[in-house]
Structure 1
């Protein structure tokens, strides 16, 4: 009788533990999917450029350093009435929340540049998703909205990166014109790199550097002179979707 009671206790203990395990799995599944925004499978592919039919370009600025150059950059964008899309790193945003608010408050778009600036192609899907969501939470607390655009550090966009971005409800944004301004070339070289390759729907990659700021006023004026409209990435994507619906 004593052995029977002990065995029955073990059975019930196993049933309870199994039930708790199933409940935790179900909760984890629910929690993950409540955070996941729906993005079509086609949106998993990275975006390099906008529509070839639209005379528009998008300036993008990846920010994980260079805060000393941002006030002047923002002033130039405001003076030229030229909105840009700023992809902000989470760790940087934690240090400079007011600057993030200033960027957004001026009418620029805020995107996600991950939290810690890792090499995304060296991470798993879960690792990338965690890095994206950590930055997302910080930016949401600062601005009150979650970015739906993600620019992966170093432009790395292997399968695990794209899947994580999709699962986070983001579009992965790359570029078609690279200033390579992180190497600190002269302002003239930056301008030549852009104007020599600019095209309809170009996404132009920049960073907050001294030569970039120096080149920016003349670069924007020349783009406008050539008939280009400067828009945010979201505006560019809306125009692309509108064209698809019209076909």
Structure 2
């Protein structure tokens, strides 16, 4: 038989086998099952996608603009949350089941920011942000400072230290130790005057001189100013703003200069602590002995201990 006839016979045989397979009822059933499985998977995917789309709004939050509050003065903005439906679907599609823990979010920035507001003092972070900041004002108390730094390091907590200029000039090694511990450094004036009563020129000199000394010692620029004893007038805040510093106050006071027992200090703070709290303290024996317990108790409230800059950022804390 020639090659031509062999080729024709082979084609005929293949066609016949193919016809038999297609006509075979078991083959039809198998193809139907494949088609059915594919349709089921597609349907599952579509229903999951629809469920994510329908439930997304329950988990979203609008951004909140920075604002001036009649009591709390400058209140920072806070990012909103929007569910990334496509990303959430891809994470959940393997199991084919909706799981709120697997939702993927995008943060949405507010339209008005802290820097858009008129210069006003800041007493706390946004009340919805689960953060707390220690404000440690340093103009004396060297004997307790290193103990506090050791406790902060042990607990992996960063604080914001407001340094007096004269103290920094006289204690450059301690100032460097604070900076090398990863803590934030702010301006606490040069000589601890009453900023409410001194002249505008003197106020500016107090801040400017301190900024220069702190930058020379730590190589860090100050973003925040804490008036000594919390005393200031509107012009003080404006002068700080002209030097690119926000004015920081507090919402919880340890009153540690009165030398309370650790038990009294801890009770005083924990009875008033709140999301966004700024806790004022100094390097005193009372605060040094209370610090470890304060940190542990604040963390038990699911509040994150962060610097002032971190607390005032619009970024949401995502668990």
C-alpha separation between the residues in 1 aligned to 2:268 and 2:293?
13
Report 1:226-237 matches (<5 A): 226-237=301-312
Given candidates 266, 281, 287, the residue that maps to 1:212 is 287
C-alpha separation between the residues in 2 aligned to 1:97 and 1:126?
26
- The structural deviation recorded for 1:51 is 1.1
Which sections of structure 1, spanning at least 5 residues, go unmatched?
A: 1-38
Output one character per residue of 1:157-176: Cα deviation in whole Å (capped at 9) or x when no partner.
21121121111110000000
TM-score, scaled relative to structure 1? 0.80
Count how many residue pairs are aligned between Structure 1 and Structure 2. Answer: 203
C-alpha separation between the residues in 1 aligned to 2:117 and 2:226?
17
Output one character per residue of 1:127-148: Cα deviation in whole Å (capped at 9) or x when no partner.
1111000100000001112201
Which residue is 1:165 aligned to?
Answer: 240
TM-score, scaled relative to structure 2? 0.62
Which sections of structure 2, spanning at least 5 residues, go unmatched?
A: 1-113
2:206 equivalent to 1:103: no
2:209 equivalent to 1:134: yes
C-alpha separation between the residues in 1 aligned to 2:190 and 2:288?
25
- The structure with the larger Rg is 2
- The structural deviation recorded for 1:41 is 6.3
Q: CA RMSD in A?
A: 1.3
Which residue is 2:193 aligned to?
Answer: 118
C-alpha separation between the residues in 1 aligned to 2:209 and 2:118?
22
Higher helix proportion, which one? 1
C-alpha separation between the residues in 1 aligned to 2:116 and 2:265?
36
- Whether the aligned pair in 1 keeps the contact of 2:194 and 2:232 (CA below 8 Å) is no
**RCO greater where, 1 or 2, for CA within 8 Å and sep 6 or more?**
1
Which residue is 2:154 aligned to?
Answer: 79
When residues 230 and 43 of structure 1 are mapped into structure 2, their CA distance, relative to the original with a 3 A threshold, is: farther
When residues 42 and 157 of structure 1 are mapped into structure 2, their CA distance, relative to the original with a 3 A threshold, is: farther
Q: Secondary structure at the match of 1:99?
A: helix
